[in-house]
């Protein structure tokens, strides 16, 4: 659909790591998940593709579980952000179609973080809580450590994402007057563009990036600033750590789980604290080195082979069910 496709990239890595041990057939829904007719077309395609097979729903199409064989599919849930944003009958309808009913029909459910699992408990009936296991995201093999001298005169801080939760206005406020450059991955709307233009920051909007371009952006930057207001996981944290870059991240939702000891965690709602963390990074080389070392150690627990093995175990459990 022309957006960042981190989920597709993630599970592409999982499929490669499974190798020949598990025969995998990739099914992509034929229509964008919008409106009644597009979703009806996706339901028909999923029903045809899923007959007689073990299925794994990996994207934001949970409702397809309504037509897959009961008890024979795995549903991965990335976050419940939409339920926090909606209200009234719309939220209740989505809660049932995207969460309650697909989870009830699934053989097993995985959440990509403990924070997401705990959030799910708010929205699911208590008897369903035991179905949910935690399997985190993996970091793709393309992200490898590459040393880069710190650009002391004007280091590049990389911001990945421009959605409501990515907290760009507070990042802009925090960086005003600091000797650094801000690179932004993702589409910038008119309000964000006006804010950036008025800020006086040295910034560059990179727009949507392909896989190789995103890898190069991490290699070219000096640090990642990822002080989101909400994340189901926080994959850019791992991507920066794997590249060997220090990270400043928010201290809420799932980000501490993803970051481990390899990030400077701050309150994402306080621009002053964000600024203070950036100032520490700018002036303390020992801190930067410690964060890089801790980040490289952290990503060892998120390698594709280990994550794929955990999914493989679930597929085999589902296959053995009567």
Domains and CATH numbers, the chain: 6-138+303-320 (3.40.50.2000), 156-301 (3.40.50.2000)
Q: Do 224 and 278 touch, CB atoms closer than 8 A?
A: no
Report strand pairing: 55-57 vs 73-77: parallel
**Quick one: tokens of 89?**
């009958």
Q: Which pLDDT score is estimated for 259?
A: 97
Backbone angles phi, psi at 59, to 5 degrees: -110, -170
Residue 68 and residue 1: Cα distance in Å, rounded?
Answer: 24
What parts of the chain have a pLDDT lower than 70?
1-5, 322
Q: Which pLDDT score is estimated for 41?
A: 97
Angstrom distances, CA of residue 279 to CA of 227, 256, 282, 284: 15, 21, 5, 8
Q: Which pLDDT score is estimated for 176?
A: 96
Q: Which pLDDT score is estimated for 291?
A: 98
pTM of the model: 0.91
Q: Which pLDDT score is estimated for 245?
A: 98
Q: Which pLDDT score is estimated for 286?
A: 97
Q: Which pLDDT score is estimated for 322?
A: 65
* Share in percent of the chain as helix, strand, coil (round to 5): 50, 15, 35
């Amino acid at each position: 659909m022309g957006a960042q496709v981190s989920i597709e990239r993630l599970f592409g890595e999982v499929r490669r790591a499974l190798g020949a041990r598990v025969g995998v057939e990739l099914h992509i829904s034929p229509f964008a998940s919008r409106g009644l007719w597009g979703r009806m077309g996706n339901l028909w395609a999923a029903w045809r593709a899923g007959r007689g097979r073990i299925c794994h729903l990996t994207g934001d199409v949970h409702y397809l579980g309504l037509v897959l064989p009961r008890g024979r599919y795995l549903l991965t849930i990335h976050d419940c952000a939409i339920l926090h944003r909606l209200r009234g009958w719309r939220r209740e309808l989505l809660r049932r179609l995207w969460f309650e009913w697909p989870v009830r029909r699934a053989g097993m459910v995985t959440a990509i973080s403990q924070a997401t699992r705990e959030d799910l408990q708010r929205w699911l009936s208590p008897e369903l809580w035991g179905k949910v296991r935690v399997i985190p995201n993996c970091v793709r093999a393309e992200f490898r450590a590459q040393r880069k001298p710190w650009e002391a005169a004007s280091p590049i801080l990389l911001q990945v994402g421009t959605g409501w939760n990515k907290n760009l206005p507070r990042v802009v406020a925090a960086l005003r007057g600091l000797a650094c450059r801000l690179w932004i991955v993702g589409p910038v709307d008119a309000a964000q563009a006006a804010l950036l233009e008025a800020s006086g920051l040295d910034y560059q909007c990179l727009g949507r990036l392909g896989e190789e371009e995103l890898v190069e952006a991490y290699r070219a930057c000096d640090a990642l600033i990822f002080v989101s207001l909400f994340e189901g996981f926080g994959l850019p944290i791992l991507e920066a750590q794997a590249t060997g870059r220090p990270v400043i991240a928010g201290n809420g939702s799932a980000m501490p789980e993803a970051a481990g000891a390899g990030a400077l965690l701050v309150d994402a709602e306080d621009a002053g604290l964000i600024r203070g963390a950036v100032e520490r990074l700018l002036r303390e080389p020992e801190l930067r080195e410690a964060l890089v070392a801790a980040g490289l150690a952290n990503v060892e627990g998120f390698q594709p082979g280990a994550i794929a093995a955990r999914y493989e175990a679930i597929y085999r459990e589902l296959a053995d069910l009567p």
